[in-house]
Amino acid sequence: MAGGIASLCGWLAARAEGVSECRFEFAHERATRQRSSTVLSLAFSTATRDCERIVRLLMERLQRLELPAAVESVSLRAEAMEALAGRTNSLFGLRSEGAGGDSLGALVEHLQARLGHGRVHALAAVAEHRPENASRRVKPVLLAGERTAAKLFAAPDLSEKTPGPRPLWLLASPLALREMAGRPQCGGALRLLAGPERIESGWWDAAEPDALGDVRRDYFVAISMRNEWLWIFRSRAGWFLHGVFA
């Protein structure tokens, strides 16, 4: 198979193209086959003609592929091709950052092959003030030349006033905190560093089932006795922990 992949990459290089999807077809021996062939499709987040990248993803998928019978032959077909500019190396012949198998796209493909496509997501910003609804899961798609993690995230709308700091990790649901002497407690008294930031929104879906509904919260950045940076809020029901900063 390595020879076939090398031939494909050479053919693509001659055409200044890359492949975003290819298909391997394993034909089984006629005497023992339960079906004529087994098909394995590889999808890439960005077009490629990098042999190492294709082989790495193929090996990851083959580890989880069960063949019903011995294989007689293997065929390789490029399913989706697109124009792909040549890669510029450095003065000393080293690959530029993010090129080939070390790119973010290759990492996404590796995780999808190992964990499953349905378990690898990117985040897209949503025009919503309530933190629980301010982002949504989307398919991780990289455009050619985009090599940084920031490109996996849709840019938020900054036409309005920029909000305060937001933690990457939000709790599944806010955790109630005790209050002593007017100060919220989480492994000891918390010290407030920034805030309050008022978030008041959601009246329009208050009557919908399973909706977050109307919220009125004052958010603060706080630090714990263990030097943990926390995102907490105060509402009519008391103090709550909602997120943790890295």
Tens of pLDDT, residue by residue over 139-197, are 776 544 444 444 554 444 544 556 678 888 888 888 999 999 888 998 889 999 988 88
Q: Is pLDDT larger for residue 31 or for residue 163?
A: 163
Contact 156, 172 (CB under 8 A): no
Q: Is the pLDDT of residue 221 over 90?
A: yes
Does the pTM surpass 0.75? The reply is: no
What is the C-alpha separation between 102 and 96, in angstroms, rounded? 10
The residue type at 170? L
Q: Is the pLDDT of residue 92 over 60?
A: no
What is the C-alpha separation between 39 and 150, in angstroms, rounded? 34
pLDDT of residue 97: 41
Q: Which fold has domain 2-86?
A: Dna Ligase; domain 1 (3.30.1490)
Mean pLDDT, rounded, for 95-103: 46
* Domain residue limits, the chain: 2-86, 169-244
What is the C-alpha separation between 224 and 192, in angstroms, rounded? 9
Name the one residue in this structure whose structure tokens are 């985040």. 123
How does 32-43 read in b/e, with b if 16+ C-beta sit within 10 Å? ebeeeebeeebb
Q: Which range is least confidently modeled, 73-82, 145-154, 210-219?
A: 145-154
Mean pLDDT, rounded, for 107-111: 76
Q: Which range is least confidently modeled, 24-28, 149-153, 207-211?
A: 149-153
